[in-house]
Chains A and B, each alone.
Chain A
Amino acid sequence: MSTVVQIKNVFKKFGSVKAVDGVSLEIEKGQFFSLLGPSGCGKTTLLRLIAGFEQPSSGELFIDNRSMYGVEPNLRPTNMVFQNYAIFPHLNVEQNVSYGLRKKNLSVMEKVEMIDQVLKLVGLSGLNHRSANELSGGQKQRVALARALILKPKVLLLDEPLSALDKKLREQMQLELRHLQRAVGITFVLVTHDQEEALTMSDKVAVMFDGRVEQVASPRTLYETPVSQRVASFIGEMNFISGNVLEANDRISVNSQILGKLSIPCSKVFGDVSEKQIKIGIRPESISIVANTAKKKGLISGIISDTSYFGETTYYKIECGSKADTIVVSAQNSFGQMDYKKGEKVKLETDFKSLVGFMG
């Protein structure tokens, strides 16, 4: 695998605001790469730096091993799908899609063939002469994709392309985009604030906060071993349970009021290991509720303080001892089965393999 986008210690300041604060990234060829983070974390600025709409205040950017210093957007091997699609309203579908072909020396026949091919690819066959104003949101999105893909860019940049679509269409487009990316083999760089979107579509995700990249990893690694508490809570839900560090070797031994004595391998503990305090992270689905009568070592007792029903799962808030020690547990619902009620006493069983630790 070779690297197609290389970002080296890039900073971008707008006045006194550091939008991008020292980012280094490598994006491999043919990958579906996502920049994930809350709004204002600098992910869109980073994308615009790659596209060339912004110039870095300092640092270097390479695309296909070529320095992009001072290279205008029209001369970069990148194309972008804009958040609002930016379909030219005075042109029809075909004119929009072929907009970038003018400068390439192609015969009319070649152009027609390319247009038909790309329209077929995005599922808009036959709509060549539809005017831009008559397109639905989903169709506009496809035109924007076709317009960019027809130029066969080294990197396709997507700026929150699905945020304007309704949930159903969004989920459908997520799958389609994923298939499309596999089919054309072009590197996709997607900006999104939707963690679910990032996880389902990407080969690799970079999580950004405050202009910095906090973690770059595959979706599974990101979910199972987040490197910080804020990554953990941005990617899904996580319980953080306090504990005292007893011993720190290749495993960190911890004593926790709720969970008792346990140990976590060093590779899954993040932060300064000389700290005495630790937060133990457990995903809600790594805890299961067992009947109050169950007799087994290591069970935690608690009282259900709140429940929320989500269809396939139910989330339970469970007080273990004091109010401050509330644990969130999610349980798969099976049809017709009785669930636990508010105020009910239950016991919890923890999957210790899934634990991660954050020092401090």
Chain B
Amino acid sequence: MSRSTKYLKVFAYTYLMFLYAPALLLPIFSFNASQVIAFPLTGFSTQWFETLLYQKTLHEALKNSLIVAISSSILATILGVLASRSATRYSFKGKQVSLTFILAPLVLPEIIVGVALLTVLKQMGLSLNLWSVILGHTLLIMPFSILIMNSAFNNFDISLEEASLDLGENQFGTFYRVILPLVLPGVIASLLIGFTLSLDEFIIAFFLTGTEVTLPVYIWSLFRFPKQLATVMALGTVLLIVSLILLSLSEYFRRRTATTKTPVL
């Protein structure tokens, strides 16, 4: 191995360590017997996980988060399917511009999006509740949804669609019987990614939430009580594991969107 690749390797491992080591602290402290988040560890305990079971406000926040995550991922996926279908299949004026605008939340600072949405909703005289959070999250998830669906639709062989029409099926039937089944893995991937993104999103939820807080906002509020820190660690550990599972699943489905294109002869 040459010198430079050796240094590169050291750099890569250091990088990964800085990236993930803090996350590893979560499970370590969540099983620690002491309330204080500090080394040395004082002993093994599952009591912080047990307290999770009895926190009513936590359950309420979890319920809110699930409602928001499920609604916004479904909403964003439906919109994403429609947008990327039209973007890949048809050409029309302003296609590039509108795509750019839809993808913009990907690079816009969330805090700006959050403040802007808050201002608009307030100006319109709407009250803040779970719906405002759902709308905000939909906006945030849609770019991801479109990018996933674009790759699914780009791999879609147009002659399959034509074959379906040719065999007597109308546009709607063709979408339902041929297009949807073939891009379904992409749809599932988009739903899972959207769900994960929404579940741990804080900034927009913080700005747009009313009295019903979502889980991340609830966790943030717990930090005011040092005694609760260990419980937060336990909660964090659970969320970490759930997120990892969801992301792996979505990656699995994204790859399943195998190309339907036959090689050009």
Contact = CB atoms under 8 A, between A and B. Distances in A.
Interface of A: 51, 53, 72-75, 78-80, 82-86, 88-90, 99-100, 102-103, 147-148, 151, 160, 163-164
B223 to A, nearest CB: 50
Contacts of B265: 83-84, 160, 163-164
Contacts of A84: 157, 159, 262, 264-265
Given A85-B262, A163-B265, A73 B166 contact: yes
Interface in B78-98: none
Instruction: Give the interface residue-count category, chain B.
Output: 20 to 34
Given A74-B170, A100-B168, A80 B163 contact: yes
A102 B169 contact: yes
A99 B167 contact: yes
A83 B262 CA distance: 10
Contacts, number: 67
Contact residues of A: prevailing secondary structure: loop
A79 B167 contact: yes
A100 B167 contact: yes
28 contacts: A51-B166, A73-B162, A74-B167, A74-B168, A74-B170, A75-B168, A79-B167, A80-B166, A82-B162, A82-B163, A84-B157, A84-B159, A88-B160, A88-B164, A88-B178, A89-B160, A99-B164, A99-B167, A100-B167, A100-B168, A100-B169, A102-B173, A103-B168, A103-B169, A147-B167, A148-B166, A148-B167, A151-B167
A148 to B, nearest CB: 8
B151 interface: no
Contacts of A85: 262
B157 A86 contact: yes
A163 B263 CA distance: 13
B108 to A, nearest CB: 37
A79 B260 CA distance: 21
Contacts of A147: 163, 167
Given A84-B265, A163-B265, A89 B163 contact: no
A79 B166 contact: yes
Q: Which of B168, B181, B182, B260 has the most CB of A within 10 A?
A: B168
Nearest to B261: A84
Nearest to A159: B159
A83 to B, nearest CB: 6
Given A86-B162, A88-B178, 10 more contacts: A74-B165, A74-B166, A74-B170, A88-B163, A89-B182, A99-B169, A99-B177, A100-B167, A102-B169, A160-B265
- The 6 lowest CB-CB distance pairs between A and B, nearest first, are A100-B167, A86-B163, A86-B159, A84-B262, A73-B165, A164-B265
Q: Which of A73, A78, A164 has the most CB of B within 10 A?
A: A73
B152 to A, nearest CB: 13
Nearest to A48: B162
B63 to A, nearest CB: 37
A290 B140 CA distance: 85
Contact of B165 (A72, A90, A163, A164): A72
Contacts of B181: 90
Nearest to B160: A86
A100 B177 CA distance: 11
Nearest to A103: B168
Contacts of B166: 51, 53, 73-74, 78-80, 148
Contacts of A100: 167-169
Contacts of B167: 74, 79, 99-100, 147-148, 151
Contacts of A102: 169, 173
A128 to B, nearest CB: 18
A94 to B, nearest CB: 14
Interface in B114-172: 157, 159-160, 162-170
Nearest to A98: B167
A85 B162 CA distance: 11
B181 to A, nearest CB: 5
A51 B164 CA distance: 12
A82 B159 CA distance: 7
Interface string B171-188: 001000110011000000
